[in-house]
Amino acid sequence: MAYKGNGINPKKFEKGQIKILLMVLPLVIITGLPIVFIVFHAFKPMEELFAFPPKFITTNPTLDNFRKLFKASRTAGIPLSKYVFNSLLITGAVVFSSLVFTTSAAYALSKLKFKGRFALMNINQLALMFVPVAVMIPRYLVVNVLHMTNTYWAQILPLIPLPVALFLVKQFVDQVPDSLIEAAYMDGAKELQIYTKVILPLIKPAIATAAILVFQQVWTNMEASNYYVNDDGLKTLAFYMNTLTSTTTNNTVAGQGVAAAASLIMFVPNLVLFCILQKNVMNTMAHSGIK
């Protein structure tokens, strides 16, 4: 919808924007309320955690839940910093590797002509139908045969492929004009140069979105630490936080405050990453210079 004199995105408020705000506001409230609840829930005292009817916003915020969390981590055999290091290492390696393989595969499947590319794309789309639980046993057998159990590789390699990210990025690469690539060929550019200097700059929104999807999958993943690793020193922060209440407190009711604080700690990196990449995520191909 165009606004007279100001284009599609006017810098000042106009009356025509009111109906758009009225349509968007309910969606903002619905999606924002869970975030508000997670934040306030972590600061609730014990009596408010189990209040009925439940309180959405705490009236007596406290830091006791976080004190109990860090106290429990200090009494554990493995320091909390080790779990944080493992999560950062694994998440960083998976996100970087996944984006490299996803973008290069999307470019090859979209713009390069070779036999079997349609079959490969169909296999990727077929993989979208399978939930992680369905491939749990085959994945474990592969990890075991390759002797990767009790290593970082067991928590990195199985998480690199993400079919939904490849599907998303390929749709963006499909919109890159073939004439642009042909012009690059005529200028003497090689495949690697086209990939790094032509394709990647034009698909930044897709890369940002894929990065968030991969990060969310890896940062909160507990299956790899649970099934492939027996050494506690190699497990991730997500696994430790999930098992903290049951392993450090005899009373599961008392452990709910610790669980609430742990949930907030695990949620914050997702929120920070989205805030950093939101500009690219919200951009469309039109804003990337592709017409």
What are residue 134's phi and psi, to 5 degrees? -70, -25
pTM (predicted TM-score): 0.81
Q: Give me the domain span that covers residue 24.
A: 20-62
Which residue bears the tokens 């690199």?
160
Statement to judge: residues 43 and 100 lie in one domain: no
Question: What's the one-letter identity of residue 255?
Answer: G
Average pLDDT across each block of 10 residues of the chain; the chain has 291 residues. List them in order: 50 74 85 87 85 81 86 77 91 95 93 88 87 84 91 92 91 89 89 90 89 91 89 88 64 70 88 81 49 45
Question: What angle separates helix 256-282 from helix 237-248, to the nearest 10 degrees?
Answer: 160
Statement to judge: residues 162 and 227 lie in one domain: yes
Output the CA–CA distances (angstroms, integers) from residue 194 to 114, 130, 185, 202, in the order listed. 17, 33, 8, 11
The pLDDT value given to residue 291: 45
The pLDDT value given to residue 247: 54
The pLDDT value given to residue 283: 58
Statement to judge: residues 90 and 196 lie in one domain: yes
Do the Cβ atoms of 261 and 249 come closer than 8 Å? no
The pLDDT value given to residue 48: 83
Statement to judge: residues 103 and 149 lie in one domain: yes
Statement to judge: residues 50 and 102 lie in one domain: no
The pLDDT value given to residue 135: 84
Is residue 1 assigned to a domain? no
Is residue 162 assigned to a domain? yes
Domain count for the chain, please give it: 2
Statement to judge: residues 27 and 164 lie in one domain: no
Is residue 7 assigned to a domain? no
One DSSP character per residue, 1-61 reads --BTTTBSS-SS--GGGHHHHHHHHHHHHHHHHHHHHHHHHHT--HHHHT-SSPPSS-SS-
Nearest partner of 94 among 271, 220, 229, 185, judged by Cα = 220
What are residue 252's phi and psi, to 5 degrees? -65, -25
The pLDDT value given to residue 20: 80
- CATH number, domain at 224? 1.10.3720.10
Q: How far apart are CA 164 and CA 175, in angstroms?
A: 18
